[in-house]
Amino acid sequence: MNNREIVNTFNRVADMLSIRGDQIHRVLAYSKAAESIAALGRDINQVYAEGKLTEIPGIGKTLAAKIEEMLTTGKLEFYDRLSAEIPPSLVDLLRVEGLGPKRVKQIYDVLGVTTLDELTAVAQAGELSKLPRMGKKTEARLLAAIDALQRHGDGRTPLGDAWPTAQAMLAELEKVPGVTKTAVAGSLRRMKETIGDIDLLVAAEDAAAVMARFAELENIEAVTAQGPTKSRVVLFNGTGVDLRVLPPERWGTLISYFTGSKDHNVALRELALKKGLSLNEHAFTPLNGDPEILCASEEDVYTTLGLPYIVPQLREDRGEIAAAIAGILPELIQSSDIISDLHMHSTWSDGKMSILEMAQAARSHGRQFVVITDHSASLGIANGLSVERLRKQADEIAAANLAMGSGFAILHGTEMEIKADGTLDFPDDVLAELDFVIASLHTSLSQPREQVTDRMLNAIWNPHVDMIAHPTGRLLPDRSGADLDMDIIFESAAATGTILEVNANPQRLDLRDIHVRRAVELGIKLAINTDAHHVDHFDLLHYGVATAQRGWATAVSVVNTWSLEKFLAYIQRKPNK
């Protein structure tokens, strides 16, 4: 069993326990454990082999035993027993907006409904509205929610899709008279790789005018809630958008609350209570009856709690509050630190622009040097380069370097296929001619873990391979990528000095945040690259930087902060070269 399967099982158990009506802390224990394992950044089998399961936050003796049972037998007896009482399919009903554990239990107990189809049938027959505390309106809302679920699913939206949508909506709301501030919040502001819904904030004295304009924006299918300070709409693509409006003097607590994460908020509020303050999105309220403390800025919120400012990217309750208290928050990598881009394509393979155009655009984006890394021959679909074309490309790079003049450098590299049999697409003597060698997986990603890991190791241990691009090959939101044994990959990358990429393309964001964190802990060198196929793609860098920040990366770990001289020296003295 792998991490994901255990996470799924624990989440299902948590949902089933909440439907059964178990004590909230028992439910929380399972969902907290699931979250911890999801954020682990390493293979739980490895942690188990080291006998360190209980060192995972939220895993005690009992859950460690359950994990051991799943890892050794492939099943969980407790889950089977629970299933006899609470049909596991009931968990699916919770995905319907408007249905929580209490209602699901009631619908199951009284009507015997266990699936979405059965639920639809009883709702259409009008049976649902006969239940206590359910009426015709609720019944109609649930039918609409089921319909929406079946049309759009409840999948998450990739960051790269949600970000521009949110910015466009904010641009409209900014035009409403009386609006003084606008911002995105929620998981979008924290730059999570996928987001559940879009959260927008507006500071204005007159909320009603903003709410009215919000409901009229483009692409809105339905307004599902509209109160004095809070509205919710659903876009035609199924994405939910929440808007909250408060007066500007309460902006700090508002944006802090709405940025989350939920767990981070809970931790902040606990901390506030210890200081005799109750914290909500409006203000701090002293428990002794003193007047409330307003925070116009988010910095004020943290100052009031006696903490240094914590950037949104860190607010996942993964140790950032303890680090803030201890004064050891990392000095995170910034976009302005990045002076090179080590991965991009030209018209020689599947890029859309010439080498010179790419270089000029990179310079205008503040880069001081780039590596042209077109695909290699066996990626035929991308017009990969043969050895002959690769050598010919060197001439054009020399010419482009001349055209660019001094103060900028174009290096010659390759993004070389790691083929399905594990061999590399170019022989070592050809690789030796290049300035910089990237190896990456694009095909046969679904090979068994051992096989695909071995392929990758073969590349990492090759003395000419300087970097692994987008290591897992995942594509958001749906393709999960290769099932690599990341522990071994990291070990080998550290041993050989091989750079691992944080690919900034929002479809990839690979390495992902939790793997960045693990790599940083192990002292592995990272590169944040755009993988640009077009000059417009240089604008995507911030997604990669945010992902690195979510992994607590500092400039020390990121080779794109290095001067050309330092960079060239490093890849020359790669330990196994």
Q: Which of residues 224-243 bind DNA (CB under 7 A)?
A: 225-230, 232, 240, 242
Residue 66 to residue 308: CA distance in whole angstroms? 39
Rounded-to-integer distance, Cα 546 and Cα 560, Å: 15
- Contact call for residue 172 and DNA (CB under 7 A): no
> Cβ closer to DNA: 51 or 380?
51
Site string for DNA, 78-107 (x = CB under 7 A): ----------------x-xxxxxxxxx---
CB 146 within 8 A of CB 162: no
Identify which of residues 130 and 479 has a Cβ nearer to DNA in the complex: 130
Q: How far is the CB of 96 from DNA (least distance, A)?
A: 7
Is residue 247 part of the contact set for DNA (CB under 7 A)?
A: no
Contact flag: residue 286 with DNA (CB under 7 A): no
Q: How far is the CB of 411 from DNA (least distance, A)?
A: 42
- What mask of x and - would describe binding to DNA in positions 17 to 46, judged by CB under 7 A? ------xxxx-xxxx-x-------------
In the bound state with DNA, the residue whose beta carbon lies nearer, of 28 and 339, is: 28
Query: Residue 427 carries which side chain, given as an amino acid letter?
Result: P
Q: Which is nearer to DNA, 40 or 185 (CB)?
A: 185
Per CB under 7 A, which region of 247-255, 260-268, 443-451, 494-502 contacts DNA? Answer: 260-268
530, burial (CB in 10 Å: exposed 0-12, middle 13-18, buried 19+): buried
The answer to the question of residue 51 lying near DNA (CB under 7 A) is no
Size of site (CB under 7 A) for DNA: 72
160 touching DNA, by CB under 7 A:
no
* In contact, 192 and 199? CB cutoff 8 Å: no
When the beta carbons of 107 and 377 are compared against DNA, the nearer one is: 107
User: Could you tell me the CA-to-CA distances from 280 to 15, 70, 272 in Å, in that order?
Assistant: 27, 40, 10
Full strand arrangement of the beta sheet holding 369-375: 340-341, 369-375, 409-417, 436-440, 467-468, 499-503, 526-529
Which DSSP category does 554 fall into?
A: B
* Residue 60 vs 366, nearer CB to DNA: 60
Q: With contact defined as beta carbons under 8 Å apart, do 548 and 499 qualify?
A: no
Near DNA by CB under 7 A: residue from 6, 34, 59, 532: 59
| Of residues 557-576, those binding DNA (CB under 7 A) | none
The DSSP-derived string for 247-309 is -GGGHHHHHHHHH--HHHHHHHHHHHHHTTEEE-SS-EEETTSPPPB--SSHHHHHHHTT---
By beta-carbon proximity to DNA, the closer residue of 199 and 300 is: 199
**Which residue number, 95 or 391, has a Cβ lying nearer to DNA?**
95
Task: Compute the least distance from the CB of residue 260 to DNA, in Å.
Answer: 2
Judged by beta carbon, residue 36 or residue 297, the one nearer DNA is 36
CA-to-CA distance for 472 and 441, rounded, in angstroms? Answer: 8
Q: How far apart are CA 4 and CA 307, in angstroms?
A: 34
Comparing CA positions, the residue from 84, 65, 91 lying closest to residue 13 is: 91
> Residue 207 or residue 342: which is nearer to DNA going by CB?
207
- Which residue among 42, 152, 181, 282 contacts DNA (CB under 7 A)? 282
Single out the segment in contact with DNA by CB under 7 A; choices: 279-287, 355-363, 401-409, 548-556: 279-287
- Asked if 11 interacts with DNA (CB under 7 A), we say no
Task: Please list every residue from 335 through 374 that binds DNA, using CB under 7 A.
Answer: none
Nearer to DNA by C-beta: 220 or 568?
220
Instruction: Give the integer Cα–Cα distance in Å for 325 and 271.
Output: 11
- Residues 60-79 contacting DNA, CB under 7 A: 60-64
Q: Minimal CA–CA distance to 480: which of 512, 455, 433?
A: 512
Mask 505-534, x = binds DNA (CB under 7 A)? ------------------------------
125-144 residues in contact with DNA (CB under 7 A) are 129, 132-139, 141
Return the half-sphere exposure (C-beta side, CA atoms, 13 A cut-off) of residue 165. 25
3-state SS class at 521: helix
Judged by DSSP in three states, 504 sits in coil
- Nearest distance in Å: CB 114, DNA: 16
C-beta of 543: minimal distance to DNA in Å?
A: 19
Which of these segments, 53-61, 301-309, 318-326, 400-408, binds DNA (CB under 7 A)? Answer: 53-61
Our CB check for DNA shows the closer of 258 and 562 to be 258
Kindly tell me which residue out of 87, 88, 196, 247 binds DNA, with binding defined by CB under 7 A: 196
DSSP-H helix ranges across 193-250: 207-215
Q: How far is the CB of 188 from DNA (least distance, A)?
A: 9
Print the binding letters for residues 440-479 with DNA: x by CB under 7 A, - otherwise: ----------------------------------------
Candidate list 197, 298, 374, 483; residue touching DNA; CB under 7 A: 197
CB of 263 to DNA, least distance (A): 7
What DSSP string describes 56-115?
Answer: STT--HHHHHHHHHHHHHSS-HHHHHHHHHS-TTHHHHTTSTT--HHHHHHHHHHH---S
Return d(Cα 98, Cα 12) in angstroms, integer: 19
Residue type at 544 in one-letter notation? G
Nearer to DNA, 103 or 537 (CB): 103
Per CB under 7 A, does 298 bind DNA?
no
Q: Which residues pair with 440 in a beta bridge?
A: 417
- Using CB atoms within 10 Å of the CB of residue 18, give its burial: 0 to 12 exposed, 13 to 18 middle, 19+ buried: buried
Output the six-digit token pair for 22. 């178990």
Nearer residue to DNA within complex by CB, 100 or 366: 100
Tokens of 531: 């993988």
Give CB contacts under 8 A, 24+ apart, made by 133-137.
134/103
Please identify which residue in 41, 160, 186, 551 interacts with DNA, judged by CB under 7 A. Answer: 186
Cβ at position 207, least distance to DNA in Å: 9
